[in-house]
Every structure is written in C-alpha cells, then in structure tokens.
Amino acid sequence: MSLTINAIECWLVDIPTIRPHKLSMVTMGCQTLTLVKMSCSGGVVGWGEATTIGGLSYGPESPEAIKSAIDHYLAPLLCHQPFTGVEALSRKMNSVVKGNTFAKSALETAFLDAQGKTLNVPVSELLGGRLTDELPVLWTLASGSTEKDIDEGHRLIAEGRHRAFKLKIGANALQTDLKHALAIKAALGENIPVHVDVNQAWDMTTALLAIPQLFKGGITMIEQPIPLHDQRNLIALSQRVEATLLADEAVPDYHCGFSLASGGFTGAFALKIAKAGGPAQVIKLARVAQAAGISLYGGTMLEGTLGTVSSLHAWSTLEMKSGTEMFGPLLLKDDIVVQSLEYRNGHVVIPSGPGLGVEIDTDKLKHYSRNE
C-alpha cells in the first residue's frame, strides 16, 4: 500500500502543568507540545507530536526549532510524495535532514496514524503486534518539597493510580538530595518501588559516593547519573554498583545502544521515541538491547496524549521489564484530545482503535495554540 502526503501543518501548543515540576536543569510550569497534522491521499489525516523539556534545557531541539524544521525543511521534502511504509519515509527524511529526531518522530507518528487508519488497524499492529493492552506506569514526584512529595505519593497510592515512583534529584547539594530521596523512600515503604533520575548532574566520583547510599536505603535504579558523553565511565559504573543503572540521554538510538552494550554495560535502557526519531526507529534500539540481554524501560519527554499514545503503541510490542513512566498527560492541566487516557491500578490502558486510537479536540487545539 502506498500513501501520498498531500499537506503538513504544525502548531505550538502551550499547556500549563498541574504544579511546578522540578528537574536538575529546569523547573517547568508549562509544557509546549509541537503538534503535526498530516493530510494524506484518500482524505486520511494523521496526527503526531514532538515535545521536549524546558525549551533548550534538555537537548538541542527547542519547540520553535522543531516547528521550523518541519515547516521549512521536512514538510516541503515529504509533501506530494508517495511512501510505501514508515521505513521509506524515514530514509527520505534522513537522506536530506541530519539530526532533528524530535521533528522526525512527530512526522513518523503522524504517518503511522494515517497508515493505521487507512488499513483500519492500531499503530501497534504496524510495529509488530501488541503483547498487552495495558502497561505499568509510575509517577514522578518532583514538587521540590520532601513533605509535598511524600503527601502526593501517599495520596496516589491510596487512589490506586500509581504503585511506583520516580524522584528528580541533582539540582541540590548531594547530601540534601540524598536526604530528600531516602526520606521519601522510607515514608512510602519497602513495597513501593522508587528510583531516582539524576539527569547527568553528577561526575563519576559523586556517583560512586551516592549510589551505594541510595541502594542501601532501598532505591535500586539510578537513571543517567553522569553526562551522556562519558560512556566509558557509565559502563564502568554499571559494573561496579549493585543498583541498576538506567541509561537515558546516553542511548538516543540503536547506534549508541550497540556501543554501550558491546562495551559491557549491564544496566537498562530508557527508550524514548523522540530521541530515536519515531516509534518504528525506537524499536531498532529495543532489539539491540534485547539481543544484549539489557532490560527496557519506557521513557517520556512529558508529552501530551498524542506523544504518549504513540510511545505506548511501541512499548506494547516489547517486554518492558523495567516498567514505564508514561504519565505525561497527567502532569498537564488540560489536553487537546476528545477522550483522555485511562489510568487505573498503576497501569495505563492502550487505545485499540485504528491508528493511534485518539481523536483531536479542534476547539482545544485552537484555544491553546500559540499566536505567532
């Protein structure tokens, strides 16, 4: 089946968060979603999303740059072109545009959505077929206050919405962060999994000092403790500590994944569709990890429902032994879809309709879209 792309439109959508969300590099009070509408042959429309964290605080692509790359480079390249499948689309984009994986991920998602609607199958079927209809999902406690985080954790456990948590640390002095993390873990109890995300804030010496203390306190997974470029020390660290190291920024794609795995990395990989260039591209990284015996974790860029669902379709085709964090829509005060995702019993339900299985609320899209 060949699908011709007739037109591509792009919006920047600003939605406030339910509370300040504190990371090591930025505190967020609003999230910007870059949304794509892809109009294809036969009147089929596909939707995609690219979302980053804190403008340019997280990585080299800002929301404005993502939209510019799509509007001025990728849309003209793809429009009025027929594509037999997502790999042909990816090859075309990569042959002309270097990097810009967030922009490419939005377009790959929109194409898969359109293709799924054309064939009347969910995106998960296009990616290999789902193994499950729901996935575990943790919640990140990142208010910046130990007491508020403990109260929030207890409330969400009582509501049955989440049974596992992640903490953002690295912005404060080491002992302050350790005291904060260990206090939350102790308050939530030994049966509630808690891991910490350092977002590259430590050096090797600090990591070797901190990780044994966290592990002793019951925190058994540490996400990206040192800079992404320090691959040699990340590998060595994974072999020296008892806790599981979760590589995130260090594994944007399957090339980096292969380099880490072949070097002897013993932790887990955090998959993110935006880093890899799309749902189909992140599956390639997952296959490298699986071949090396490395566990998989479903990561988020704090996307809205479109980006979250796109990721969920990919994760549903894999064994996510280390869990997922697909809570992005819950952090936003609103969203631009008609029907919100269902979160229940520590899990999120994956839509089963054609394509992504979600419908855009055009009134909300108009309301939250940035005037330029």
Question: Does the pLDDT at position 18 exceed 80?
Answer: yes
**Res. 56 pLDDT band, cuts 50 70 90:** confident
Question: Does the pLDDT at position 165 exceed 80?
Answer: yes
Whether 275 is catalytic is no
Question: Does the pLDDT at position 55 exceed 90?
Answer: no
Q: Within a domain: residue 204?
A: yes
Are 63 and 147 within one domain? no
290: CB partners within 8 A, 6+ apart: 296, 318, 319
The mean per-residue pLDDT over the stretch 198-219 comes to 97
pLDDT value of residue 266 = 95
pLDDT value of residue 39 = 98
Q: Tell me how far apart the alpha carbons of residues 47 and 105 are, in angstroms, rounded to a whole number.
A: 11
**Res. 22 pLDDT band, cuts 50 70 90:** confident
Question: Does the pLDDT at position 47 exceed 90?
Answer: yes
Query: Which structural domain range is residue 296 located in?
Result: 126-349
Domain end call among 120, 150, 168: 120
pLDDT value of residue 76 = 98
Range with the poorest average pLDDT among 20-34, 97-111, 322-336, 358-372: 20-34
Are 231 and 269 within one domain? yes
Question: Does the pLDDT at position 140 exceed 90?
Answer: yes
Are 173 and 70 within one domain? no
pLDDT value of residue 27 = 82
Q: Within a domain: residue 25?
A: yes
**Res. 23 pLDDT band, cuts 50 70 90:** confident
Question: Does the pLDDT at position 287 exceed 80?
Answer: yes
Q: Within a domain: residue 372?
A: no
CB burial class (10 A; 0-12, 13-18, 19+) of residue 64? Answer: middle
**Which residue in the list 22, 37, 168, 272 is annotated as catalytic?**
168
Are 201 and 226 within one domain? yes
pLDDT value of residue 4 = 98
Other C-beta atoms closer than 10 Å to the C-beta of 51 total: 25
Are 148 and 43 within one domain? no
Whether 148 is catalytic is no
Q: Within a domain: residue 358?
A: no
Q: Tell me how far apart the alpha carbons of residues 253 and 20 are, in angstroms, rounded to a whole number.
A: 30
pLDDT value of residue 127 = 98
Range with the poorest average pLDDT among 35-44, 45-54, 57-66, 262-271: 57-66
Alpha-carbon distances, residue 15 vs 46, 88, 366, 368 (angstroms): 22, 34, 12, 7
242: CB partners within 8 A, 6+ apart: 212, 215, 220
Model pLDDT for residues 178-193, shown as the tens digit of each residue: 999 999 999 999 999 9
Q: Within a domain: residue 263?
A: yes
pLDDT value of residue 372 = 63
Q: Within a domain: residue 297?
A: yes
Are 175 and 258 within one domain? yes
The mean per-residue pLDDT over the stretch 52-69 comes to 91
Q: Within a domain: residue 298?
A: yes
Are 253 and 318 within one domain? yes
The mean per-residue pLDDT over the stretch 320-349 comes to 96
Are 70 and 184 within one domain? no
Question: Does the pLDDT at position 209 exceed 90?
Answer: yes
Average pLDDT, the chain: 96
Alpha-carbon distances, residue 234 vs 214, 238, 241, 251, 255 (angstroms): 17, 6, 11, 11, 16
pLDDT value of residue 58 = 80
Are 174 and 295 within one domain? yes
Domain end call among 79, 104, 120: 120
List the CATH number of the domain containing 33: 3.30.390.10
Q: Within a domain: residue 356?
A: no
Are 244 and 330 within one domain? yes
Range with the poorest average pLDDT among 5-19, 52-66, 290-304, 343-357: 52-66
Question: Does the pLDDT at position 126 exceed 80?
Answer: yes
- pLDDT > 90 fraction of the chain, expressed in percent and rounded: 92
Q: Domain total for the chain?
A: 2
pLDDT value of residue 92 = 98
Are 297 and 193 within one domain? yes
Domain end call among 120, 149, 175: 120
List the CATH number of the domain containing 242: 3.20.20.120
Are 145 and 213 within one domain? yes
Indicate the pTM of the whole model: 0.95
